Amino acid sequence: LNLSIPLSKDLYKDVSKLSSVDKQTFVAMVRDVLRGYLAERELVSIRTRAKKKAKSSGIKPSMIENMVDEFRK
């Protein structure tokens, strides 16, 4: 799938510079940025669901570290 996205000159310059520094093509840099954004959004979603589940289960933030330590034993 090919996609055309209008960019401001400043954004284009910034991405071009960064892609040169990272020795990537412009397109590869944009793909990496989009993948990172999607991964971050998924992580935020997982954290939100986990917080809701913990709260409904009566788990307090102060209890998490002990629970993780017990799980790792």
Residue range 24-36, pLDDT digits in tens: 999 999 999 999 9
CA 4 to chain centre: 23
What confidence score (pLDDT) does residue 61 get? 85
Comparing CA positions, the residue from 56, 57, 37 lying closest to residue 45 is 37
Beta carbons of 42 and 31 less than 8 angstroms apart = no
Q: What does the alpha-carbon distance between residue 37 and residue 31 come to, in Å, rounded to a whole number?
A: 10
pLDDT tens for 29-67 read 999 999 999 999 999 999 999 999 999 999 988 888 899
Q: Rounded mean pLDDT of 13-21? A: 95
What confidence score (pLDDT) does residue 73 get? 86
Provide the whole-model pTM.
0.70
